[in-house]
Amino acid sequence: MSTQGMILAGCDGDRTWRLQDYVARGGYSALRKIVADKTPQDNIIAELKASVLRGRGGAGFPTGLKWSFMPRSFPGDKYLACNSDEGEPGTFKDRDILRYNPHAVIEGMAIAAYAMGAARGYNYIHGEIFEIYQRFEEALAEAREAKLIGRNILGSDFSFELFAHHGYGAYICGEETALLESIEGKKGQPRFKPPFPASYGLYGKPTTINNTETFASVPFILNMGGEAFLNLGKPNNGGMKLFSVSGHVNRPGNYEIPLGTPFSELLEMAGGVRGGRKLKAVIPGGSSAPVLPADVIMGCTMDYDSISKAGSMLGSGAVIVMDETTCMVKALERLSYFYYEESCGQCTPCREGTGWLYKVVHRIEHGEGRPDDLDLLNSVTGNIMGRTICALGDAASMPVQSFIKHFASEFEYHIENKKCLVPPEVQHAGSNIYVSPSC
Amino acid sequence: MLSQESLQQIDREIAKYPPDQKQSAVMSALRIAQVEKGWLANETIEFVAGYLGMPAIAVYEVASFYNMYDLHPVGRHKITVCTNLPCALSGGVHVAEYLKEKLGIDFNETTPDGKFTLKEGECMGACGDAPVLLHNNHRMCSWMTREKIDQMLAELDGK
C-alpha cells in the first residue's frame, strides 16, 4: 500500500479502486459538502487559485485561472473534458491514477462542473490502455448508481453527465483542441487559437480541458484548503506531483512527491542508476522537454521554476533517465522518428520539418552524416518553431536543439568517425531487457 | 453487416453524445467493427458510415488517421511492440528482435499461417512497465522477458 503521496496515498494496487474504497479514504466528501452547503462557484475557484495548482499535463498553466475564463453566465451548453490521452514518451502517471483511484478524477470533474456550470463532460482515454478505459466505465457506473454524477446529484438541483471517450492511437490528440476534434468524430487535427476552448470548444460551446492528475488533485485541495496544498510544495509551485521515472533506473515507476524535492532524492527513490552505472543525461518532463546533462539535473529540484531555470521544462513530470551506455545520437534518432510519425500533417513546417529532422539524425547515426548536418538541424528546427498551429513542431525541435547543444562532441564524433563514441556492445548490454525484481 | 451484439455496443456509445452528434461515436464504432471483422474493409467502413449517417469518406479519414485501426488484413494475433526511447532503454528493441526471430517475420508482416502479425508501436503510456507490448490492441502485456514471450506465444498459438 502506498503511504506516500496524495492522490495515490492509501491505494493498494488493483484492490482498492472501487467506490467503497475511495469513500473509506474520505472520497466524495468535498463534493458532498459543496452540494449541501451550496458553496458559491467563486469560492471554489478562489480556493484553486490560492492552491497555485498548475496544470499537470505539461503546460503548467494555473488551473484556477483557467477555470475563471469560462463564461459562467453563458446560457447554453458548456462542457468539460479530461485529457487522459497520455502518450508523451516517458509519461505513465494518468494510467495509474485511473487504474488505482478513478473516483478521484470523477469527483474532481464533478466539482469542476459545479464551479463552471458545465452540464456534460468527457474523459478522453489513450487508445492503448483499453483495460483502463473499461475500468473507468465501471467506476462511472458506480458513481451514477450512487447519484454522485448524473441528474440531480445527491438530491440537489445540480446535474452533471460524465462519459468516457476512447482514443485509438494518435499522440496529437493530447493537444487539447485536437482532442476536441477527435471527440467530435474527426481526425485529431489541432484548431487555430483564438478562439480558445473557453469560448469555442466542444461542439462550438465553451469548454474547459484539464489533465487527469489536475482533476484528481481538486478534491484533495478543497479538503485541505488551497493554502495547505500550496505549502506542500514551494511558492509558485503548489502541492504534490506524480513523477513517472523510466529508463536506466533500478525501480522504474510513479513517485508522488512534493514539488521542490531534489532530483537526487527522486533518483534514489527509483533505486538509483541501474547496475551502479554513471548517470549521463535526463529528460525531466517528457520527451519534448530539452535534455539536461547529469551535472545540471543533479543540481535541480523537481518543480516548474527550477527545471525551467536549468533550461528545460517540468512538462508532464516524466523523467527519462539515461546512463553512460546511452548513445545520444541514437536516443535522439528514436525521438525524432516518433515526432515524424505523429505529426498530423496539417502545417507544412512540421509535416516536412519532422521528416527532415529524422532523416538527418538517422544518417548521422548510420555513419552517413555530413559536416554541415548540425547546422542544417539547427536551421530546420528554427524554421519549425513558432510557425505551426500547435506545439508539436516545437516539441519535435526542442529535443534536437538540446541534444546538439549539450552533446555536440558526440554528434561531431559520429559525423567524423562514422561510428559512436560508446562501443555498440556497451550500448547493446546497457539497453538489454530489464525488469525490476519488484515487478 | 455487423452482428446484433456489435450494433448494441455501438448504440451504447452513441447514447453518450448529444442526439445531434452521433458522429462522435465513430471511433468506438470502428473499434467495435474491427473487433468483429478482424480489420476494416471498405465495405465495413461504408456500413459504419451509413449507420451513423456520415459520408463514407469522413469515416475513412478517421480510420486512416488513428494508427490502431487496420485497413488491411492482419493475423489472428496482432502484436504491437513499443520501441520508443523509454522502452528501448529497458529492452524494447531486444524484445522486438526476439519476436522477429521467433516468428520469422519483420515488422508489418504476418506469419504464413495467418496467426501472427508484428507491428512497431509508439508510446503506449506505460513506460514504467517496459518492455511493453499490446495484443490485439486491447490487452497490454507488461515487463516482457524472453521467457514471458515464449509463454505468450505458446498460449496464443493454440487459439
| Cα–Cα dist A167/A183, whole Å | 9
In the predicted model, is pLDDT for residue A3 greater than 70? no
Task: For residues B22 and B52, state if they share a domain.
Answer: yes
**B interface test, pick of A160, A431, A439 with most B CB neighbours within 10 Å:** A431
More confident residue, A437 or A204: A204
In the predicted model, is pLDDT for residue B116 greater than 60? yes
Give the domain range for residue B147: 77-157
Contact A334 B85 (CB under 8 A): yes
Structure confidence at residue B158 (pLDDT): 84
What average pLDDT does the segment A58-69 reach? 94
Structure confidence at residue A236 (pLDDT): 87
- Distance (Å) from the alpha carbon of B52 to chain A's nearest alpha carbon: 11
Number of domains in chain B: 2
| CATH code of residue B14 | 1.10.10.1590
Query: In the structure, what pLDDT confidence band is assigned to residue B82 with cuts at 50, 70 and 90?
Result: very high
Task: For residues B45 and B106, state if they share a domain.
Answer: no
| CA-based nearest residue to A399, from A309, A295, A329 | A329
Residue at a domain's end among B65, B87, B117: B65
Task: For residues B60 and B90, state if they share a domain.
Answer: no
**Cβ-based neighbours of A249, under 8 Å, separated by 6 or more:** A267, A270, A271, A272, A273, A274, A321
Which chain B residues are within 8 Å of A338, Cβ to Cβ? 84-85, 122-123
Task: Count Cβ atoms below 10 Å from residue A117 Cβ, excluding itself.
Answer: 16
Query: In the structure, what pLDDT confidence band is assigned to residue A436 with cuts at 50, 70 and 90?
Result: confident
Structural domain includes residue B20: yes
Contact B85 A431 (CB under 8 A): no
| CA-based nearest residue to A25, from A42, A9, A49 | A9
- Distance (Å) from the alpha carbon of A247 to chain B's nearest alpha carbon: 5
The burial of A210, by beta-carbon neighbours within 10 Å (0-12 exposed, 13-18 middle, 19 or more buried), is given as buried
Structure confidence at residue A2 (pLDDT): 63
Structural domain includes residue B60: yes
Task: For residues B37 and B97, state if they share a domain.
Answer: no
At A145-197, the pLDDT tens digits run: 999 999 999 999 999 999 999 999 999 999 999 999 999 999 999 999 999 99
In single-letter form, the type of residue at position B146 comes to R
Contact B91 A168 (CB under 8 A): no
Longest CA span, chain B:
51
Task: For residues B46 and B104, state if they share a domain.
Answer: no
Structure confidence at residue B112 (pLDDT): 97
Mean pLDDT score of chain B:
97
Task: Count Cβ atoms below 10 Å from residue A230 Cβ, excluding itself.
Answer: 20
Task: For residues B30 and B58, state if they share a domain.
Answer: yes
Which chain A residues are within 8 Å of B66, Cβ to Cβ? 127, 167-170, 188
Task: For residues B53 and B113, state if they share a domain.
Answer: no
Task: Count Cβ atoms below 10 Å from residue A289 Cβ, excluding itself.
Answer: 29
The ipTM value here is 0.97
What average pLDDT does the segment A27-49 reach? 97
What average pLDDT does the segment A401-414 reach? 97
pTM exceeds 0.95, yes or no: yes
Torsion angle (degrees, nearest 10) of CA A379, A412, A315, A5: 180
**Cβ-based neighbours of B17, under 8 Å, separated by 6 or more:** A163, B24, B25
* Residue in B closest to A183 by C-alpha: B24
At B84-109, the pLDDT tens digits run: 999 999 999 999 999 999 999 999 99
Q: Which three cell numbers stand for residue A302?
A: 523537481
Structure confidence at residue A27 (pLDDT): 97
Structural domain includes residue B42: yes
Dihedral sign from CA coordinates of A317, A323, A326, A328: positive
Task: For residues B58 and B93, state if they share a domain.
Answer: no
Structural domain includes residue B71: no
| Cα–Cα dist A118/A127, whole Å | 26
Query: In the structure, what pLDDT confidence band is assigned to residue A1 with cuts at 50, 70 and 90?
Result: low
Contact B146 A166 (CB under 8 A): no
Measured at the alpha carbon of residue A60, what is the angle toward residues A220 and A91, in degrees to the nearest 5?
A: 85
* Residue in B closest to A164 by C-alpha: B16
A53: contact with B, CB 8 A cutoff: no
Provide the β-strand partners of residue B118: B79, B109
Which chain B residues are within 8 Å of A120, Cβ to Cβ? 18
Query: In the structure, what pLDDT confidence band is assigned to residue A72 with cuts at 50, 70 and 90?
Result: confident
What average pLDDT does the segment A230-245 reach? 93
Structure confidence at residue A75 (pLDDT): 82
Q: Which three cell numbers stand for residue B144?
A: 516482457
A168: contact with B, CB 8 A cutoff: yes
| Cα–Cα dist B66/B77, whole Å | 19
Task: For residues B111 and B81, state if they share a domain.
Answer: yes
Task: For residues B14 and B48, state if they share a domain.
Answer: yes
Mean pLDDT score of chain A:
96
Task: For residues B89 and B131, state if they share a domain.
Answer: yes
| Cα–Cα dist A31/A53, whole Å | 18
Structural domain includes residue B72: no
Residue at a domain's end among B20, B43, B65: B65
CB-defined contacts A:B, below 8 A: 183
Residue with cell 515507476: A253
